[in-house]
């Protein structure tokens, strides 16, 4: 593993109590540059990993037999500049552009549909303030049919009170950080969230080589043998208990900006996942 592909973010710009930010803008910055890790897909690579001089300006994310997906430029220099806040919010949470076209995978809309109204508004508010970066990104192409929509229109999603709780940990690991999107096996219709939640086993290809998402359930193949401190270090530093480095695309550099309470809430939730063995 090339250590240069580990993300290193400066935390100085984040609110000191970011998980409980005082303003929507602070909350949005915390989410985008912390647990949501938006730049993990939307920031181009440079010779030493993610190029933060072009933060959030878009890049090729995934190329396979089913699709070639480009994450768009979501700075004010991108096409979202002409979208209203409501249009941008709907694109993020429901995957529908202002012209009615559908945004395809790998955006995790099955989970983003659960973003609270307040957090969604905070993300939009922050994206309006990031530096504009000129970067023309091609359109994604799909060799698979996309559905008309990912579900009925989302009317409203209430806030989940920030706390060291299973409920808030589920919200962070689901709609915000979309951990379950990568750590749940894929079926014909996407992640099998109803039957195989957190079982792991997905392959990810990139400049680092091939990595496989870990089993996050309470099974002995998963996290049963790890302490909370060990899991926290794996989440925020990408370091195994034996000191070995874990591969991307897990956005460790972003997760390093999470508050201790938010990390603890995620771990508390992961401890509740029903035990499932590694996929056969």
Contact 50, 43 (CB under 8 A): yes
Q: What is the Cα–Cα distance from 164 to 269, expressed in whole angstroms?
A: 10
> What pLDDT is attached to residue 16?
41
- Specify the pLDDT at position 9: 40
* pLDDT value of position 237: 96
Res 141: pLDDT: 97
What is the predicted pLDDT for the residue at 189?
A: 72
Domain ranges of the chain: 16-159, 161-280
What are the mean pLDDT values of the chain's consecutive 10-residue runs (280 residues total)? 36 44 90 98 92 96 91 97 98 97 94 98 98 97 93 97 97 96 84 92 83 95 97 96 91 95 98 94
pLDDT score for 48: 84
CA 32 → CA 14, 175, 177, 191, distances in Å? Answer: 10, 13, 10, 23
CATH T-level topology, domain 161-280: Cytochrome Bc1 Complex; Chain D, domain 2 (1.10.760)
Predicted confidence at residue 207, as pLDDT, reads 75
Full DSSP string of 68-85:
EEEE---STTSGGGGS-H
pLDDT of residue 135: 97
Query: Which residues are CB-contacts of 16 (< 8 A; sequence separation ≥ 6)?
Result: none
Task: Report the distance separating Cα 119 and Cα 200, nearest Å.
Answer: 27
Q: In the prediction, which pLDDT does 12 show?
A: 40
């Amino acid at each position: 593993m090339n250590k240069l592909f580990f993300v290193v973010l400066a935390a100085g710009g984040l609110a000191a109590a970011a998980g409980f930010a005082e303003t929507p803008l602070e909350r949005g910055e915390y989410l985008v540059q912390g647990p949501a890790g938006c730049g993990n897909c939307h920031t181009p690579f440079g010779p030493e990993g993610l190029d933060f001089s072009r933060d959030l300006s878009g890049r090729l994310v995934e190329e396979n037999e089913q699709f070639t997906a480009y994450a768009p430029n979501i700075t004010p220099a991108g096409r979202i500049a002409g979208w209203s806040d409501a249009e941008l919010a709907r694109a993020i949470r429901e995957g529908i552009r202002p012209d009615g076209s559908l945004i395809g995978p790998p955006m995790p809309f099955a989970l983003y549909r659960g973003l609270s109204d307040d957090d969604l508004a905070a993300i939009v508010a922050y994206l309006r303030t990031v530096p504009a970066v000129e970067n023309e990104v091609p359109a994604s192409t799909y060799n698979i049919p996309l559905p008309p929509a990912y579900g009925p229109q989302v009317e409203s999603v209430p806030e989940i009170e920030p706390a060291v709780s299973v409920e808030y940990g589920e919200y962070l690991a689901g709609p915000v950080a979309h951990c379950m999107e990568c750590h749940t096996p894929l079926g014909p219709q996407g992640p099998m969230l109803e039957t195989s939640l957190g079982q792991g086993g997905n392959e990810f290809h990139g400049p680092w080589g091939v990595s496989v998402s870990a089993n996050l359930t309470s099974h002995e193949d998963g996290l049963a043998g790890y302490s909370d401190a060990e899991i926290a270090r794996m989440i925020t530093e990408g370091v195994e208990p034996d000191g070995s480095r874990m591969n991307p695309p897990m956005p460790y550099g972003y997760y390093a900006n999470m508050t201790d309470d938010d990390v603890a809430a995620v771990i508390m939730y992961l401890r509740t996942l029903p035990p499932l063995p590694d996929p056969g």
